Amino acid sequence: MTELRPRIAVITFPGSNDDVDARLALEQLGAEVVPVWHATTELAADLGGIVLPGGFSYGDYLRCGAIARVAPVMGAVRAFAADGGPVLGICNGFQILCEAGLLPGVLRANRQLEFLCADVTVVVESDGTPFTAALTPGEELVIPIKHGEGNWVTDPALHAELVERGQVVLRYAEDVNGSLDRVAGVANEEGNVLGLMPHPEHAVDPLLGPTGGVPLLQGLVAAAHERLAGAGVA
């Protein structure tokens, strides 16, 4: 029996940096990665998931993610998300998803007004997304962050609703960047789109540091697998 490798797209915008890292991590966890250029307007039909990687798309000019949200590829990303496909936005990918309105809130400059690269502990707050389905709320994961603008905020009423609906998926164990309610990652209402500032793709190899990213990316690979199996593609 041949191993089934779900196909996951990693989108490269000009200025994406962690696209290669995302590919390496997903391949390590059993996925087949399809590199997708920002100018693409159609995605392959047999895609099980999408990753918007970290970096500085379009130089982060204007505002982080503000130009990428109107990139040609984003139409196909929206359609895939609307169809229930799993979409993971990491760091700059999270910023893009917020700018695109696929996720709630915005990301401002860190409280320290400095870029910050460090291993941090995040707490799983919800198992209601495919990415965290195999985790238990309260579980702690150590994953590095590296960003200058990861200070998530939204208005208090929406924030309360998000908490109520389990859309706050990950929290920092301690305040690291001024993020409202220590939010490290949020999902859409359906749970199939997740954005987070920590870099799970940089936490999969014990040789390079902590491995808290493994369960989150495994969740994506499993969801991609399921989607393809459901569609009868695999």
Partner 1 sequence: MLDLGEGLAVAFKVESHNHPSAVEPFQGAATGVGGILRDIAAMGARPVALLDGLRFGEPDDHFSRAVDGVGHYGNCVGVPNVGGEIVFDEDYASNCLVNAMCVGLLPAERVVRAKATAAGALVVLYGATTGRDGIGGASVLASAELGDDDADKRPSVQVGDPFTGKRLIEVSVELVERGLVRSLQDCGAAGLASSLSEMAADYGIDVRLDRVPQREEGMEPWEVMISESQERMVAIVEPERLGEVEAVIDRWELHRAVIGEVTATGILRATWNGEEVGAIPARLLTGECPRYAVAREPRTPPSETTTTTPPARQALRELLASPALRSRAFVTRRYDQLVQSRTVRRPGLDAAVLRLRPEWRGIAVTLDGQSRLGVLDPRLAGQLAILEAARNVACAGGEPIGFTDCLNFGNPEKPEVGWELAEAIEGMALACEALGVPVVSGNVSLYNDTDGRSIPPTPVVGCVGLVPDVRRVPRGWREGDAILLARSRSPLTFAGSEAQARWGSLGGSPSLDLASEGALVRYASRVAQHASLVHDAAEGGLAVALAEAALWSAAGAELDLEDDALTLFGEVGGQVIVALPSGDVEPDPTGADVEVRRIGTVGGDALLGIPLAELACAYEGEA
Q: Give me the count of residues in the chain.
A: 234
Q: How far is the CB of 85 from partner 1 (least distance, A)?
A: 26
Q: Residue 211 pairs with which residues in a beta bridge? A: none
Q: Residue with structure tokens 């969740």?
A: 219
174 binds partner 1 (CB under 8 A): no
Q: Which is nearer to partner 1, 119 or 139 (CB)?
A: 119
Q: Which of 6, 7, 10, 18 binds partner 1 (CB under 8 A)?
A: 18
At 179 the three-state DSSP class reads coil
Question: Do 133 and 119 touch, CB atoms closer than 8 A?
Answer: no
Q: How far is the CB of 125 from partner 1 (least distance, A)?
A: 25
Catalytic positions, written as ranges: 91, 199, 201
Residues in region 55-74 near partner 1 by CB under 8 A? 55-56, 58-61
Q: How far is the CB of 73 from partner 1 (least distance, A)?
A: 15
Q: How far is the CB of 178 from partner 1 (least distance, A)?
A: 14
Q: Which is nearer to partner 1, 61 or 137 (CB)?
A: 61
Q: Which residues, other chains included, contact 20 with Cβ-Cβ below 8 Å and sequence gap of 6+?
A: none
Q: At what angle do helices 214-231 and 19-28 cross, to 10 degrees?
A: 70
Q: Measured between alpha carbons, how far is 26 from 206 in angstroms, rounded to an integer?
A: 15
Residues in region 85-144 near partner 1 by CB under 8 A? 114-118, 144
Q: How far is the CB of 20 from partner 1 (least distance, A)?
A: 7
Q: Which is nearer to partner 1, 82 or 115 (CB)?
A: 115
Cα distances from 8 to residues 60, 82, 182, 201, 221, in angstroms, run 25, 17, 29, 14, 8
From the number of C-beta atoms within 10 Å of its C-beta (0-12, 13-18, 19+), residue 133 rates as middle
Q: Which is nearer to partner 1, 56 or 172 (CB)?
A: 56
Q: Which of 5, 7, 171, 199 binds partner 1 (CB under 8 A)?
A: 199
Per CB under 8 A, the segment of 99-107, 125-133, 206-214, 224-232 that binds partner 1 is 206-214
Q: Measured between alpha carbons, how far is 27 from 18 in angstroms, rounded to an integer?
A: 14
Site of interaction with partner 1 (CB under 8 A): 14-18, 20-21, 24-25, 54-56, 58-61, 114-118, 144, 146, 148, 199, 201-202, 205, 207-209
